[in-house]
Structure 1
Amino acid sequence: MSRHGGTKEASRLQRRLEALNDARELAEGVLPDATLDDVLHVLERASSRRSLSADHTVVGFFGATGSGKSTLFNAVNGAEIATAAARRPTTSEPLASVWGADGSEPLLDWLDVRQRHHADAVEGFADEASGLILLDLPDFDSTRAANRQTVERLVGMVDVLVWVLDPQKYADAAVHDDFLAPLASHGAVTLVVLNQIDRLPEADVKPVMESLRGILARDGLGKVQVLAASALTGAGVDKVRAAIRQVVARREALALRLSADVSQVAGRLMDASGPGEPAGVKSGTGARLAEELSRAANVPLVVDAVPRSYKHESTRRTGWPVTRWLVRFRPDPLRRLNLRSTSKAEVSRTSLPPAGAPERARTDAAVRDFADAASDGAPGPWRASIRGAAREGRERLPDALDQAIARADLKAGQKSWWWAVFNVIQWLALLTAVGGLGWLGVLAVLGYLQLPVPDVPRVEGWPLPTLMIAGGAALGIFLAITAKFITAAAARLRAAAARKRLKSAVAAVAGKLVVEPVEVEISRLKSFNAAVKAAAAA
């Protein structure tokens, strides 16, 4: 592939790394720390490797004891490397063979490879191999723990993995189960070489190669390139060298290796998260939550007090003046609840009964049912996270609901226009009746004192003072009865309006303390799914 193609691959890798980091940050506190640590390790390793030489391609030779790995390494490099390798102080140290391209030292320092050799040109392996670093590594089945640790470390750091197998142990579970199968996503940067084919009869080479390919397919590496070679006789070495040369020439091994790492850990994130999408917050579930919280917060009690308070005030202002004063001895229902103030800035608490065990149980059940409905279908860890978000505000609900009710505008201090009209007429009726009584009283006193008693005006034969008494009393009673009907109708309207305002206030509290945190967590899951999908998209 051209360098332009490598640049496109690098740009694609950058977007995937950014998506992977977004997924990691979104999953913090939800998915296991071990999984997130693996992701962070890949991100840090990718950042470190990309900051080093992009002109070098690191190819590691991995193999078991007796596979002829080092012999093949020398055959690919040439005789001079074999001489250098023979002088190595210990076989536990990886050896680097560097082909051209300056600036390899920081990269080899990062790889912690101290044994270094600058190779000479080999026929058919010259300019195209510029920037190649070949690593001969310790045997992965070594009895020395340090050797195995070195192999395991560099398996995760080299750009290209060359697995050198031999006819006797090519099916060994140690290499397949511990290394090849876990790196199934790295097929694009993996090369498998069946070495020492000189030990096989020529007729057996093909069946053994087919068997190896079948095993690799079961490992998830069915498309990986498999070559046969003999480092001893030189058979197939040119093909191995050509395959490595081709990888270097494409200049995309680094991006492909890191891309495979991203795919691998993105898959782990997917597995840790699990499949599924949450049902989300529906209008019906939100309404049910608000209704249950309204009941738990004694909203019905307040709604019931609103019309009774209105009737109390209406009677005090429009009742028959002779008896209306008796209303003062009955407490106002809203005032008893500390909800009578006309200035809501003065009210921070109500006098409603404090939430007891039944109310708390009802609140908990309402929040739990809402969270269960919203998280239905979500993966297990995220379902727990969504439920946890709903529960976080649960302890603050009783106090927040009480304050919301205290601040709700119940129109408790709002007067009705007809009160003043009825009040004026009631007093005129009373004054008329009192005037009639006074008139008759004066006539009675004059008669008692044997003084002349003037004739009183009559209407249809009825004395005017008597009509004044009867008319005033009848009008007062009529107004009082009429006022009760009007009051009852207005009280129902006040109650309906209060119910609407209180439920709106409760819904706002539920939205802030329960619904919004749940929606944030659901949005977080959706963003995570999108990010991990973008990171996994090779």
Structure 2
Amino acid sequence: MFRKKLSLTERLEALREATDLGEGLVSPAEHAALARVADAAAERRALSGEHTVVGFFGATGSGKTSLFNAVVGEDLGKTAARRPTTSSPLAAVWDPAGSEELLDWLQVEDRRNRTGDFAPGAGPVILLDLPDFDSVEPEHRAIATRLAGQVDVLVWVTDPEKYADSIIHDHFIRPHASHSSVTLAVLNKSDRLTAEDARRVSASLEQLLVDDGLKKVSVIRTSARDGSGIDDLRKAIAKVASAHSAQQARIEADLRTVTAPFVGRQSLKEPTATDKRRLDDHLAEAAGADRLAAATAAAYRKRLGQKTGWLLTSWLLRLRADPLKRLGLREDADETGVHRSSIPQLDASGRAVANRGVRGYAQAVSAGLPDRWASAVVDQTEQIVDSLPEDLDRAAARTKLPAQPSRAWGLFTVVQWLALVAALVGIGWYLLAAFLPGVLYPFMDEIIPDIEGWPIPTLLIVGGLLLGIVLGMFTGVFGLAIGSGVKHRTRRALRREVASISQEKVVEPLLAVRARYLEFLDAIRRAAGNAGN
């Protein structure tokens, strides 16, 4: 795939973005390195872009200062009574105009301006003689370490005795292994070796540099005493300076170094729909989906019985508490989210079920994340499980509960009343005939007529009572069947609310940590110079 080459400005912006995203989620040392490179690059670019800063680094006894003086062309130490040893940086400056702020940033106070040009076409150059990096004085080592991260060009000065010293390789050269394009390696005091030994030691040093990770770095053999190799070193410095790209090359090398630990990390596995469904299953169980569905179905049957049952017994149902009201639930969904149910808070078992679901999903989210990012997921998980009982209660309150029978059942209520009225008419008929027999005797045959031998009042009484009982039994059986559907719909509705709650309160916060890591990696890749077009 075609890759667009990012500008240095874009890469530094990406590094700053990665630094912000990684705060608290990468190790303090890694975050400090990211911030240091971002700050140093921004500060260096704001200062003189014309000057090339070249730092001479070496161990005690390597002849670094003598070599520095030889390259400068004068023993600058003789003119500085306050600098008997290389205890503080000394700068030799060619074309000093505009170098003051740069040297202030480098914290170099001892400055010696030079006349003329360092070399034809080299442009403004600043050479720094730095304290020995193996000094017993911690302050000296700190200065050398700091400036190794600030200068544009690094000149590593060794000698035949200490060229393989672990201090220079482990603590200085290897950490700057990606800086080959702005690194010069010098084997000083080569006059003490025979020509054959000098070639052998140079080859050995080159191999050590390759082992350190540097590429295409040749060793320049010098001697401050007889002047051999000094011109070669001056030409090498001038070549780097004349390209006027050392500053950018140094910053690019710093970017490669600081992003290297993160580039190439494996891609993450996306949490699956199965992971989300498993989470919802656990939360629905913890929220009491079955209990709520059963209560809704029971409330539906109770209300249907009250509405369509036999009027002589259905009133007894009103004496029983409504299952939903007992739980503090309403049929209508609470869209405001402020209503609380009276469902008991999750017990230990319910909490365990909910926590198991959340932690299982958190495990899927953190799969492949580095330890610190995975720990951030764990921390977020602990915050989530603390608020889960209230969230699940809110899910129950937000669920629309189909516990109210439809108005169509009102027809059965009308029929029940008609049946009761018919029975009462029959009873009243007989009472009238019984209490007023003398008055009604002449009309008895007409007052209590019959049909096929069955007195009409009897038919009204028996028919009204039987019709009421049969209708009550019918609607009761029918209510059981409908209640099963109500139970299913309620469970499904609560699961929808639980799924919404889990998405908002569990999935999104946990995925936010994962997304932040992916954004961090993307910023790191862009800082390293990689970006898709």
TM-score normalised to structure 1 length: 0.90
Q: 1:325 aligns with which of 304, 315, 332?
A: 315
Per-residue displacement from partner, 1:443-482 (whole Å, max 9, x unpaired)?
A: 3345477832233433333222222222222222221122
Per-residue displacement from partner, 1:253-272 (whole Å, max 9, x unpaired)?
A: 1112122222222235x29x
Q: 1:138 maps to what in 2?
A: 131
Q: 1:94 maps to what in 2?
A: 89
How far 1:304 moved relative to its partner? Answer: 0.3
In structure 1, C-alpha distance between the alignment counterparts of 2:415 and 2:156, rounded to whole Å: 107
Per-residue displacement from partner, 1:29-80 (whole Å, max 9, x unpaired)?
A: 22222321232222222222111101111001122233232232233222xx
1:107 matched to 2:102? The reply is yes
Counterpart of 1:34, as a letter, is A
How far 1:247 moved relative to its partner? Answer: 0.8
Q: 1:149 aligns with which of 142, 146, 161?
A: 142
Whether the 8 Å CA contact 2:330–2:397 is kept in 1: the answer is no
1:31 matched to 2:23? The reply is no
Q: 1:502 aligns with which of 494, 516, 520?
A: 494
Whether the 8 Å CA contact 2:423–2:461 is kept in 1: the answer is yes
1:128 matched to 2:128? The reply is no
C-alpha RMSD over aligned residues: 2.4
Counterpart of 2:327, as a letter, is L
Whether the 8 Å CA contact 2:311–2:416 is kept in 1: the answer is yes
In structure 2, C-alpha distance between the alignment counterparts of 1:379 and 1:94, rounded to whole Å: 41
Q: 1:439 maps to what in 2?
A: 429
Counterpart of 2:39, as a letter, is E
Equivalences for residues 206-285 of structure 1 within 5 A: 206-268=199-261, 270=262, 275-285=265-275
1:462 matched to 2:457? The reply is no
How far 1:132 moved relative to its partner? Answer: 0.8
In structure 1, C-alpha distance between the alignment counterparts of 2:77 and 2:277, rounded to whole Å: 76
In structure 1, C-alpha distance between the alignment counterparts of 2:78 and 2:435, rounded to whole Å: 148
Unmatched tracts of structure 1, length 5 or more: 1-7
Q: 2:417 maps to what in 1?
A: 427
Whether the 8 Å CA contact 2:93–2:125 is kept in 1: the answer is yes
Per-residue displacement from partner, 1:344-373 (whole Å, max 9, x unpaired)?
A: 469722121222222222222221112112
**Aligned-residue identity in percent:** 42
Per-residue displacement from partner, 1:108-145 (whole Å, max 9, x unpaired)?
A: 122122222222346xx534122111112233333444
Q: 1:48 maps to what in 2?
A: 43
1:358 matched to 2:349? The reply is yes
How far 1:278 moved relative to its partner? Answer: 3.8
Cα distance, 1:448–1:376 mapped onto 2, change above 3 Å: farther
Unmatched tracts of structure 2, length 5 or more: none
In structure 1, C-alpha distance between the alignment counterparts of 2:359 and 2:258, rounded to whole Å: 34
Q: 2:328 aligns with which of 318, 323, 338?
A: 338
1:184 matched to 2:177? The reply is yes
Per-residue displacement from partner, 1:489-516 (whole Å, max 9, x unpaired)?
A: 3222222221121111122222222111
In structure 1, C-alpha distance between the alignment counterparts of 2:282 and 2:276, rounded to whole Å: 10
> Counterpart of 1:215 in 2: which secondary structure?
helix
Whether the 8 Å CA contact 1:316–1:327 is kept in 2: the answer is yes
Counterpart of 2:475, as a letter, is A
> Counterpart of 1:128 in 2: which secondary structure?
coil
In structure 1, C-alpha distance between the alignment counterparts of 2:153 and 2:337, rounded to whole Å: 74
Q: 2:303 maps to what in 1?
A: 313
How far 1:275 moved relative to its partner? Answer: 4.1
TM-score normalised to structure 2 length: 0.91
Report the more deviating stretch, 478-487 or 304-313: 478-487
In structure 2, C-alpha distance between the alignment counterparts of 1:529 and 1:457, rounded to whole Å: 98
In structure 2, C-alpha distance between the alignment counterparts of 1:65 and 1:358, rounded to whole Å: 69
Per-residue displacement from partner, 1:79-99 (whole Å, max 9, x unpaired)?
A: xx33x3321221323221112
Q: 2:15 aligns with which of 6, 13, 20?
A: 20
In structure 1, C-alpha distance between the alignment counterparts of 2:414 and 2:144, rounded to whole Å: 102
> Counterpart of 2:151 in 1: which secondary structure?
coil
In structure 1, C-alpha distance between the alignment counterparts of 2:187 and 2:489, rounded to whole Å: 84
Cα distance, 1:185–1:500 mapped onto 2, change above 3 Å: same
How far 1:169 moved relative to its partner? Answer: 2.2
1:205 matched to 2:210? The reply is no
In structure 2, C-alpha distance between the alignment counterparts of 1:416 and 1:464, rounded to whole Å: 35
Q: 1:170 maps to what in 2?
A: 163
Counterpart of 1:339, as a letter, is L
> Counterpart of 1:323 in 2: which secondary structure?
helix
How far 1:536 moved relative to its partner? Answer: 2.9
